[in-house]
Amino acid sequence: LELFSNLVCRRQIGLLVFLLHAGNMVGGQIRYSVPEEMKKGSVIGNVAQDLGLDLTRLRSGRARIVTGENVQYTELKADKGILVVNERIDREQLCGDVTPCSFSFELILENPMELHRITVEVLDINDHSPVFSNKDGSISFEVSELAAIGVKFPLQTANDLDVGQNALQNYNLSPDDNFILKQSTNPGGGKHVEMVLQKPLDREKRPHLSLKLIAIDGGTPQRSGSVNIEVTVLDANDNIPVFNQSVYKAAVVENIAIGTSIISVNATDADSGSNARITYSLSNMKGSAEDIFGIDRQTGRIFVSGRIDFEKERKYEVRVEARDQGGLIGTSKIIIDVLDVNDNKPVINVMSFSTPLSEDAPPGTTVAILNVKDADSDRNGQIKCSVDGKLPFKIESSLTNYYNLVSDQHLDRESVSEYNITITATDYGSPTLSTSTLLHLKISDVNDNSPLFDKNSYSSYLVENNPLGLSIFAVSAQDTDWNQNARISYILEETLVGVNPVSAFVSLNSETGVLTAVRSFDYEQIKEFKLVVKAVSGYNITVVAIDGGIPPLSARRTFNLKVSDVNDNAPFLPQSVYSAFLTENNSPGFSVLSLRATDPDENQNARISYILEDSNVDGSPISKYVSVNVETGVVQAVRSFDYEHTKDFVFIVKAQDGGTPPLSSNVTVKIRIQDQNDNPPQILYPVQTGGSVVAEMVPRSADVGYLVTKVVAVDVDSGQNAWLSYKLQKATDRALFEVGLQNGEIRTIRQVTDKDAVKQRLTVIVEDNGQPSRSATVIVNVAVADSFPEVLSEFTDSPHEKEYNDTLTFYLVLALAVVSFLFITCLVVIISVKIYRWRQSRILFHSNLPVIPYYPPRYSDTLGTGTLQHVYNYEVLQNRLEQLFLFCDFVNIPSVNYTDAVMINFLNYFNFCWIINVFRSKN
C-alpha cells in the first residue's frame, strides 16, 4: 500500500500544473489514481483545490457527484472539499482483465450551473492467487507406453484475476525423469503449457505417475496455485489424434438460443480399432466460457449452453481436445467472435432540471442536463436525442453521453404558461430502440405587457341637469400578466376643458374605473360651448390605466362626449349587385350568401333590417324560393332547387335602418343554380320491351366496320355531367363487335364467318362524365344471318322458350275462348238490335210517319243498295287484330308461337263482317 500511495502522490504532482488551469474552467476534467481495496473513508484527492474552487462555492452550488452506475464508489465531502472512498473497490469485479481500469463520474454545481468530469483509475494489487479451474481437482492422462519421445501433453492453464506484473508469470513441474515442462506465449499474451515426454515409459516398472503443476504470479508477495497430474501408462497406442485445422474460427450472435450449433471440429487417428475411437472435450476455458459452450463428445459439435452477452464478453478462445482410447490427445484452438445485437434501450438520467423558468430567459438558456447511455456498441450504441413536437427547445451535446436541454426561442408566459417536454433518445441500431422521458416545465411571469383597454375609444351621452355624482361610464382594462403584474389602477390625467381642468367636470375611481360627474351640466352652456369645440368632437378626457408590476406599465384611452345623432345616412352596401352560386338538390335552409350593410349613424339610426322585396319567379312568389334573415342579412334557400327546372333567378333585398323616418337602400341579388350529376343517362334506342325480342340483323357477308346499329342516349344534366361515353360491357363474342366511345355506334371489327353464332347478345353501358358518374345499360340482340327464316328458327327454338310450352298452350286456349265468346256475344247483340229495329220500323210504317233512314259512318249508297266499304271492313279487322296482339303482349305470349290462333281469328272476323253486311243489305 505504501508503494501505491507514493505512486499516487507522484501522479498527482504531475497533474498539478494542468489542474491549476483546468480548475477555473466550466466543464473541466481531473483524474486520480488509487489502488484497489482501499478502506472506506480513504482520501482520493482534494477536489476543491484541484478545480480551483473554494468551500463556500461547493456549499452554495449544492455540489454533488452523479454516476450512472448502481454502486457509488466515491463520496464528496463538501465541507472539506475532498473526495473519499465510499464503497469497496475491487478492480477485478469492476474491469475484469481490461487495463487500465477506471471509472468516471460528474461533479455538478448550480447557480450558476457547472459540470466537471472526474476519472478515477484503479490500480491493481496482488490480491488473487493463480487458480486452476479443473472441477475434478486433478489432471488425468492415460499414456501408452509406446508413446514416442517428444510427445506433448497440453496442460490446463491457471487463471489469475490480477493484471500486469501481478498476473500469472510462470509454471513449474515437480521433478520427474520421464516428463519435462514446456511453456509458450500465445499471441493474446497468455501462457500455453505442455508436458513433453523426454524418456520412454515402461508400464511394468511405473504404471502410474503422480506429478504437480505449480502456477506462480509476479506479485509481491508472490502467490501460487497448483494442480495434481495423474498419468496412467497404457499399452500400444502410438498415434495421437490430429485435427484438420490448427485454429477454428466462428462467429455467434449474442442472445442466441441455447442448444444452437456454432461449429463442428473433426480429428482423425491413424490407429485402428479402439485406439482410433476419438472423444472430444473442451479445455482451457476462462471465466464464464465454461458455462456458455459445450461439445458433443462423439461428434465434435460445439453448441451454446448458456446466455451470450456481447456487453460482457466480445471474444472467446476455447481449446478443444481429441482423445483416443489409448490416452493420446490432439488439440486445436477455437476463436469465437460475438456479434452485437441491438438489445439494449438507451437510458436517460436527468442530472439537473431548472423549473420554473423565467419568460425573459434568452435563447440558449440551459433548462436541464441529461445523461444518456446505451450498453450496446458501435452504431447500436450511438445515440441521438431529440425533443418531440414543435416546442421552443432543442438538445445540445456537451460532454460524452451528456446533453443539455436549452431554449431555442424567446418565451411568452401569456401564450404558453407551461410545457410538457418529451425527450426521446434513439440509437442507430436495426431495428432502432428508443426511450423517452417527460419534463414538466413551468414559465414564470415578468411584467412585459401593458394594460389593454377593451375598446379603442369610449363614448357616452349625458343629460343636462344631472345630479352630482352621477355615474357616466365605466372603463375596463385587462392585463395578460399574472398576479401583482396584472393589478390595474385607473388615473385621470389632468387636461384642460376650455379654461377649466378636467377634474372640475368629472372624477375617476382608481379601482373600478367608473367615471362620475362632479358638477351639474347646463344644456344651454354645453350647446354654446359645443359649437366651439365641435371640430374636436366635444370633451376629450384622457384615462390612464397602470398595472402593479416593477417597473409599472400603462395604457391611455380617450373618453369622448358626443352630440346626439340624426338619421341622415341611408344604409350602404358595397355592391349594387350580388351574385351567388347554389348547387342543385340543396337542403332547405342552406345559407346562400350574406349581405352586409353599414350605416355611419349610431344607435337605433344604425340598426339595419333586411327585407325581401316582393317579386315572382316563374309565376310563384320569391318567398317560396329564398328568405332573408332580418337581423343578419343571411340569404337562405327555402326549397331544394333543380337545375333542370330553374337555372337562375333575380330578386331585390332592401336594407332599412331604424331611424325616424327610416332610410333604405336596395341591392339586386342574382342566384345561379349549379348542376349536379343527379340524372343517369336515358336510353332512347334500342327500346327495351318486356315481351317481344328485338334483334338487329347482320349479314354474314358484312365487312369490317359494318354498322350494326347505334345506341342513342341522352342525359338531362348539363356540362360535363351530360357528356356520355359508350362501352361494351359484355358480349357473346368480344372479338366481333365494338362500340364507338363517343357516338355509340356498334360496328364489326372483323369479317363475319360461318363459325360465328347466329344469336349474339351485347350489353352496352352508357356512362356520363359526372362525379360520381352515373350509368345505364342496354341489351342489344344481334342476329348474324342472311335470311329471316334462319333468324326466326334460331330465336324460336331457344331452350328458354321451350321450358314454357305448357304455359303458352294455356294462354292460347284462353285467348281463343275469349275471342270466340266475344264473337258470339256480338253476334247475338247485333241480331237482337236488328230485330228490334225491324219491329220499330213496322210500327212506324203502319203509323204513316216519315222514315228517316240511318246510315253508319262511311256508308255509301251504290245502285240503291247500302254496303260497308272495303276499307271500313279492313279497318275493323285491323283494330281487332291489334287488340288481339296487345292482349297477347299483355299475357307475355311471343308472336312466333300463336300463328295458327291468329289465322283462326282472321276467319272469325271475316265471318263477322260478312254477317253485318248481310243484315244491312236486308234493311
Domain 577-674 class in CATH: mainly beta
User: Can you tell me the distance from the alpha carbon of 538 to that of 564, in angstroms, rounded to the nearest whole number?
Assistant: 11
What pLDDT score does 844 carry?
Answer: 55
Cut 0.95: pTM above it: no
DSSP per-residue codes, 428-448: SSSS--EEEEEEEEEEE--S-
What is the structure's pLDDT at 794?
62
- Bridging pattern class, strands 247-253 and 329-339: parallel
CB 589 within 8 A of CB 640: no
Is the pLDDT at 505 greater than 90? The verdict is: no
Q: Report the pLDDT value the prediction gives residue 249, as an integer from 0 to 100.
A: 93
Start-to-end Cα distance in the chain: 163
What ranges do the domains of the chain cover?
30-123, 131-234, 242-339, 347-444, 452-564, 577-674, 682-791
* pLDDT reading at 61 higher than 90: no
Say whether pLDDT at 9 is over 50: no
**Parallel, antiparallel, or unpaired for β 434-444 and 357-358?**
parallel
**pLDDT above 80 for 473:** no
One-letter amino acid identity for 380?
Answer: N
901 pLDDT band, cuts 50/70/90, is: very low
Is the per-residue pLDDT at 384 higher than 80?
A: yes
pLDDT interval class at 190 (50, 70, 90):
confident
The pLDDT of residue 887 is above 50: no
Percent of the chain whose predicted confidence (pLDDT) is above 70 = 80
Which pLDDT score is estimated for 766? Answer: 92
Distance CA 503, CA 641 (A): 66
State residue 544's pLDDT score: 57
Cell numbers that stand for 70 in this block: 448502481
Which of 469, 470, 490 has the alpha carbon at shortest distance from 479?
490
Using only C-alpha atoms, what is the Rg of the chain?
Answer: 58
Cell of 432: 432502432
Give the side-chain half-sphere CA count within 13 A for 891.
19
Note the pLDDT of residue 730.
Answer: 87
Q: Which of 69-73, 378-382, 818-822 is predicted with the least confidence, judged by mean pLDDT? A: 69-73
Pairing label, strands 82-85, 43-46: antiparallel
The β-bridge partners of 83 are 45, 76
Q: State which fold the 131-234 domain adopts.
A: Immunoglobulin-like (2.60.40)
- What was the pLDDT predicted at 526? 52
Q: What is the CATH number of domain 452-564?
A: 2.60.40.60
pLDDT at residue 888 in the model: 37
Grid coordinates representing 672? 345561379
User: Residues 108-127: what's their mean pLDDT?
Assistant: 88
pLDDT on residue 7:
36
CA-CA distance, 657 to 599, in Å (whole number)? 8
What is the pLDDT averaged over residues 508-518?
Answer: 83
pLDDT confidence tier of residue 320, bands split at 50, 70 and 90 = very high
User: What is the per-residue pLDDT for 568?
Assistant: 72
What pLDDT was estimated at residue 733? 83
pLDDT band at 488 (very low <50, low <70, confident <90, very high): confident
> How many angstroms separate the Cα of 426 from the Cα of each of 325, 366, 384, 432?
57, 22, 5, 7
Average the pLDDT over 731-746 and give the result: 88
Rounded to whole angstroms, what are the CA distances from 428 to 6, 313, 434, 619? 45, 21, 9, 77
Write the DSSP assignment of 44-71 as a string of letters: EEEHHHHHT--HHHHHHTT-EEE-SSSS
CATH fold match for the domains 131-234 and 452-564 = yes
Percent of the chain with pLDDT over 90: 20
Amino acid at 660: T
**pLDDT above 60 (res 325):** yes
Q: What is the mean pLDDT of residues 881-890?
A: 40
Summarize pLDDT for 217-236 with one digit per residue, the tens. Answer: 888 888 998 899 989 887 67
Q: How many helices (H) and strands (E) does the chain have?
A: 13, 64
So what's the pLDDT on residue 694? 65
Q: Is the pLDDT higher at 692 or at 872?
A: 692
pLDDT band per the 50, 70, 90 thresholds, residue 557: low
> Of the given ranges (275-289, 293-307, 401-415, 570-584), which has the lowest mean pLDDT?
275-289
pLDDT tens digits for range 749-775 = 888 888 888 888 889 999 988 888 889
User: Angle at the Cα of 795 (from 792 to 797), degrees rounded to 5?
Assistant: 100
- Establish how many alpha carbons lie within 13 A of residue 224's alpha carbon, considering only the half-sphere containing its beta carbon: 12
Give yes or no for residue 108 having a pLDDT over 80. yes
Q: Which residue has the higher pLDDT, 208 or 94?
A: 208
628 vs 486, which has greater pLDDT?
Answer: 628
Given a cut of 90, whether residue 422 has pLDDT beyond it is yes
pLDDT of residue 451: 82
Decide: 175 and 165 in contact? Cβ < 8 Å.
no
Distance CA 324, CA 270 (A): 10
pLDDT at residue 562 greater than cutoff 60: no
pLDDT at 271 over 80: no
625/650 Cα distance (integer angstroms): 11
Residue 890 has pLDDT above 50, yes or no: no
Q: How does 516-543 read in b/e, with b if 16+ C-beta sit within 10 Å?
A: ebeeebeeeebeebbeeeeeeebbebeb
CATH H superfamily, domain 242-339? Cadherins (2.60.40.60)
pLDDT on residue 495: 75
Mean pLDDT along residues 453-468: 78
How buried is residue 652: exposed, middle or buried, by Cβ count under 10 Å (0-12/13-18/19+)?
middle
pLDDT tens string 343-359: 888 999 998 888 888 88
Let me know if domain 30-123 sits in CATH 2.60.40.60.
Answer: yes
pLDDT tens, position by position, 637-686: 988 888 888 888 999 999 999 888 898 999 999 999 888 888 899 888 88
Reported for 418-424, long-range contacts at CB under 8 A and 24+ positions apart, including other chains, are 418/442, 418/443, 419/391, 419/393, 419/443, 421/387, 421/391, 421/393, 422/387, 422/388, 422/389, 423/348, 423/370, 423/385, 423/386, 423/387, 423/388, 423/395, 424/385, 424/386, 424/387, 424/388
Average pLDDT over residues 518-539: 46
Instruction: Give the per-residue pLDDT at 565.
Output: 57
863-880: average pLDDT: 39
Cα separations in angstroms, 80 against 46, 129, 818: 8, 39, 131
On the question of a cis peptide bond just before residue 112, with omega within 30 degrees of 0, the verdict is yes
Mean pLDDT score of the chain, rounded to an integer? Answer: 78
Which residues have CB under 8 Å from 257's CB, separation 6+?
A: 304
Q: What is the pLDDT of residue 471?
A: 85
Give the model's pLDDT for residue 27. Answer: 62
Q: Rounded to whole angstroms, how far apart are CA atoms 67 and 87? A: 13
- Other beta carbons less than 10 A from residue 229's beta carbon: 22
pLDDT tens digits for range 356-371: 888 888 998 899 999 9
Return the minimum-mean-pLDDT range out of 20-34, 136-150, 732-746, 871-885. 871-885
* pLDDT band (50, 70, 90) for residue 790: low
Res 528 pLDDT > 60:
no
Please state which CATH class domain 347-444 belongs to: mainly beta
Q: What are phi and psi of 364, to 5 degrees?
A: 100, -5
* Assigned CATH class of 682-791: mainly beta
Residues 494-508 have a mean pLDDT of 78
874 vs 597 pLDDT, higher one: 597
Cis peptide before 680 (omega within 30 of 0): no
Specify the pLDDT at position 272: 75
Look at residue 908 in the predicted model and tell me its pLDDT: 44
